[in-house]
Amino acid sequence: MDRCLRANNQYGADFSHIFESQQETPLAAARIELDFTTMIVYVLCLFSFCICFLAGRRQLWAGFVATLAVGYFYGILRANIPQPASHFIFDTGALGLYLALLTRTYSPVQKYKVRKLMPWVLCLTVWPALLFFVPIQNPLIQLVGLRGQIFFLPFLLIGVQLERDDAYKIALSLAVLNMIVLVFALLEVELGVPRFYPYNVVDDIIFISAVRLSSGGLVTRIPATFTSSAAYGGNMIASLPFLLGALTQERRVAWRRNLLLAGTGVSAVGVFLAASRTTAVSLFLLFLMFGGVTFWRRLRNMPWGGWLALLLGLAWLVYSVPRMQRFTELANTGYVGSRIGSSVNGRFLQLMEDYPLGNGLGCCGTSIPSFLQGEVKNSVGMENEYARIMLEQGVPGLALWMVFIVWLLTRPVPRPSEPSYVGRWLARLLCTISFATAPMGLGTLTAIPQTASLLVLCGWIASPQLVPVRRRARQEDFSEQSTAALQGA
């Protein structure tokens, strides 16, 4: 202002407007840029909703893949579009899929399968919905907390309806998606993560996660296109039951078999680039079980040459790249013990005693957008998924989830004659590992889009095994056919 007054006294009023316009120009440009990014976010949300709705109306597996694809790129989009609405890009896509599920027509077999799982979905939904009306936290915080508790549950109903062809098409789609994601991961290794994820509040978790090399240096763990490196590794692991299960079914088409092998390989590479120790252990167990089941059953469709080449190439790559060797820290038993002890300890029982009916939905701050973090009252929590459920839903909510998990993992095992025998066994193993390791971290039931994949696998293993039975002709039908034949003669 002083500058403008001096210009007015020295050069006249007309010249002083030049200085005022120079000050207003950056503000106007910033306002235009803000309006443009806001419009982009709204367009992305609308596109996400429409593509998932149309795909879900067309085919069940297509709707799931479309929603998963939105979740694959949700992290990098949210990081580069600093708008509150960018937090809802995945949610709008999932809502489009849910709307498609409500408007679809179902066969009698699909209705029968859904009825087997619907009581559990209703129980896991109704209890948090009732807690929403208990005014402990800010209504917006409770709404976000309710979303974290029930939003992914409909994916159970998608998994329970999957057929053999659906799982096979999902596997082919995941192979392509995982390859695209690996391209981003390799670019981040070469150019650096900050070229793709700017420094901001949303991406703090990415830049505080690092791998210590044998030389003593630190390198950032690779998030690829996801919200974090842990999400990258978790989604790669969640795709393996579909990929490996389809690999044992493919018989004739060579390019499909090669695509599935390549998808499996890039998924394993992604696990090591993400440098998550838990997902690395899960990968070893899945590969071990897959090799054991296929060798024991002596599957003729198994491409043993390609499988061995994949394992040897992966071993050589991990041995050659130090940033992919973080899983070797598991040899330090003292560190592993302290890490488990920090998540599984007596504080869990103390919190259960202090908050038997919970501390309000959203009290742990998980999945709360950064612009709402300050609204959480009496924030308490642990790095333990079951502690999060207990603190938000109370002991009854935790007990409900425990009973459901036990029921789920005790479903009848797949029949050896079933085409998806290998895939469903791997899905059962992965679900067991996921629920067993849930006390050592957060995000098992709230991660985007890993939780969607996990619950689809849960629904898949809970799907009742239907055996086709040839209907016997009734005696009166046979008599009528004989009479008609005699009359015709």
- What average pLDDT score do residues 227-243 get? 93
The mean per-residue pLDDT over the stretch 365-372 comes to 68
5 falls in which pLDDT band (50, 70, 90)?
Answer: very low
- Stretch 232-240: mean pLDDT: 94
Pick the residue with more confidence: 361 or 75? Answer: 75
**Cβ atoms within 10 A of the Cβ of 139, count?**
10
Report which of residues 236 and 471 the model is more confident about: 236
- Would you say residue 375 has pLDDT above 90? no
Average pLDDT over residues 159-174: 91
Burial of residue 374, with CB atoms counted within 10 A of its CB: 0-12 exposed, 13-18 middle, 19 or more buried: exposed
Q: How many angstroms from the chain centroid is the CA of residue 8?
A: 62
Res 134: pLDDT: 84
Query: What is the chain's Cα-based Rg?
Result: 27
Give the whole-angstrom CA distance, residue 429 versus residue 196: 34
Least confident of 113-117, 335-339, 458-462: 335-339
pLDDT, residue 345, reads: 61
| Tens of pLDDT, residues 423-474 | 899 999 999 999 999 888 778 888 899 999 999 999 999 987 766 555 554 4
Element (H, E) at 486: helix 475-488
Share of the chain above pLDDT 90, in %: 42
Residue scoring higher pLDDT (6 or 156): 156
Task: Please tell me the predicted confidence (pLDDT) of residue 464.
Answer: 79
Residues 137/368, Cβ–Cβ less than 8 Å:
no
Task: Enumerate the β-bridge partners of residue 219.
Answer: 211
Closest CA to 367 of 274, 279, 442: 442
Q: pLDDT value at position 94?
A: 95
Segment 368-385 shows an average pLDDT of: 73
Contacting residues for 461 by C-beta, under 8 A, at least 6 apart = 408, 411, 424, 427, 428, 431
Alpha helices (H) along 151-303 = 154-160, 164-191, 204-207, 229-247, 254-274, 277-297
pLDDT interval class at 416 (50, 70, 90): confident
pLDDT value of position 351: 82
Task: Give the helix/strand (H/E) hosting 219.
Answer: strand 218-220
Q: Which of 154, 205, 151, 157 is nearest to 362 (CA)?
A: 151
333, pLDDT greater than 90:
no
Strand partners, 212: 218
Q: Is 469 left (phi over 0), alpha (psi -120 to 50) or beta?
A: beta
In angstroms, the CA 486 to CA 274 distance is 75
User: Per-residue b/e over 30-44, b at no fewer than 16 CB within 10 Å?
Assistant: eeeeeeebeeebeeb
The alpha carbon of 80 is separated from its chain's Cα centroid by a whole number of angstroms, namely 20
Is 381 buried (19+), middle (13-18) or exposed (0-12) by CB count in 10 A? middle
pLDDT of residue 382 exceeding 90:
no
Kindly tell me if the per-residue pLDDT of 86 is higher than 70: yes
pLDDT average, residue stretch 30-57: 84
pTM of the entire predicted model: 0.85
What's the one-letter identity of residue 15?
A: F
DSSP state of 218: E
Residue 77, pLDDT above cutoff 90: yes
242 and 167 Cβ atoms separated by less than 8 Å? yes
Which position has the higher pLDDT, 327 or 122? 122
CA distance 46 to 89: 8
Tell me the average pLDDT across 417-422: 80
Peptide bond into 135 cis (omega under 30): no
| 67 vs 142: which has the higher pLDDT | 67
Q: Which two tokens stand for residue 430?
A: 């992965």
At residue 432, what is the residue type? T
Render 57-101 in DSSP notation, one character per residue.
Answer: HH-HHHHHHHHHHHHHHHHHHHHHS-SGGGGGHHHHHHHHHHHHH
Each residue's pLDDT tens digit, 185-234: 999 999 989 999 988 878 888 888 777 776 777 888 999 999 999 999 99
Question: Is pLDDT above 60 for 30?
Answer: no
Residue of 283, 257, 224 whose CA lies nearest to 75? 224
Angle at 444 between CA 87 and CA 102, to 5 degrees: 65
User: In this structure, is the dihedral angle defined by the CA atoms of residues 157, 159, 165 and 171, taken in order, positive or negative?
Assistant: positive
Q: What is the pLDDT of residue 156?
A: 94
Would you state the structure tokens that stand for residue 397, as one six-digit string?
A: 């909510």
Rounded Cα gap, residues 251 and 230, in angstroms: 34
What's the pLDDT tens digit per position in 245-284? 988 876 666 788 889 999 999 999 999 999 888 899 999 9
Chain length of the chain? 489
Asked if 342 contacts 383 with a C-beta cutoff of 8 angstroms, the reply is: yes
| In contact, 158 and 104? CB cutoff 8 Å | no
User: Is it the case that residue 106 has pLDDT exceeding 90?
Assistant: no
Could you report the per-residue pLDDT of 286-329, keeping only the tens digit for each? Answer: 999 998 888 777 777 778 888 899 999 999 999 998 888 888 87
Summarize pLDDT for 308-320 with one digit per residue, the tens: 999 999 999 999 9
Q: How confident is the model over 388-414, as pLDDT tens digits?
A: 899 889 899 999 999 999 999 998 888
Residue 366: predicted pLDDT: 67
Average pLDDT over residues 35-63: 91
As to burial, measured by CB atoms within 10 angstroms (0-12 exposed, 13-18 middle, 19+ buried), residue 433 is middle
Instruction: Tell me how far apart the alpha carbons of residues 392 and 365 are, in angstroms, rounded to a whole number.
Output: 10
Pair 460, 427: CB distance under 8 Å:
yes
State the pLDDT at residue 272.
Answer: 93
Average pLDDT over the chain reads 82
Task: Identify the pLDDT of residue 18.
Answer: 41
pLDDT tier, 25 (very low <50, low <70, confident <90, very high otherwise)? low
Q: Which amino acid belongs to residue 436?
A: A
